[in-house]
Amino acid sequence: MKITLSSTSIHKLNALRQACEALELKVEIDCVKTLSGQNEQPVGFEETFAGAFARAVSAKSQRPDTIAVGIESGIFRFETGFLSISLDIAIVVVLDRNGRRIITTSNGIQFPEKYVKKAEALGFKTTTVGSIITKDFGGDPGDPHSALTSGKISRTRTLVDALVTALKQV
């Protein structure tokens, strides 16, 4: 089985490898750089899904005979009169060899509102919440999950679970 990952991110690649290992799939993984067409920090389901889907379609167009995987993480905001919550959730889009679409999401990790607001003030077009978090906590801007949870939950781990769910449907 051949899979094309629409990213060169080490976190996404490691997650895909671990998901395939967990499912005991013998795969050849190819990575291609793609653009999401979205802000650096997507916000909401629509923008995050559009980014993941655009990445999967781009990978599929570059490698039509493979299974294409697009992953995009975004901020999902929930507000009530007294409470604001922002979760980082990844959307995974898998396009199989027959053109079927499989869509899953990762578990959400709550991001502190002060970091979300700071990234928003700087502009989501160019600034991710993860880059703001890791300025305070240290660590990898691509994995603020580890910084926030003292290494208990990594971005890779959340992506593995979402990818296993998706790949079980292929």
Q: Which of 143, 128, 12 is nearest to 68 (CA)?
A: 12
**Confidence at residue 81, expressed as pLDDT on a 0 to 100 scale:** 85
**54-77 confidence digits (pLDDT tens):** 999 999 999 999 999 999 999 999
Give me the residues of the chain with pLDDT under 70, please.
none
Residue that has been written with the tokens 């060169």 in this structure: 8
Domains present along the chain, CATH in parentheses: 2-110+154-167 (3.90.950.10)
Residue that has been written with the tokens 């971005």 in this structure: 155
Q: Which secondary structure element, helix H or strand E, spans residue 79, and what is its range?
A: strand 67-79
**Burial code of 60-96, b = ≥16 C-beta within 10 A, e = fewer?**
beebeebbbbbbbbbbbeeeeeeeeebebbbbbbbbe
**Confidence at residue 99, expressed as pLDDT on a 0 to 100 scale:** 81
**Confidence at residue 51, expressed as pLDDT on a 0 to 100 scale:** 98
**Confidence at residue 74, expressed as pLDDT on a 0 to 100 scale:** 98
Q: Is 57 exposed, middle or buried (0-12, 13-18, 19+ CB in 10 A)?
A: middle
**Confidence at residue 82, expressed as pLDDT on a 0 to 100 scale:** 87
**Confidence at residue 104, expressed as pLDDT on a 0 to 100 scale:** 98
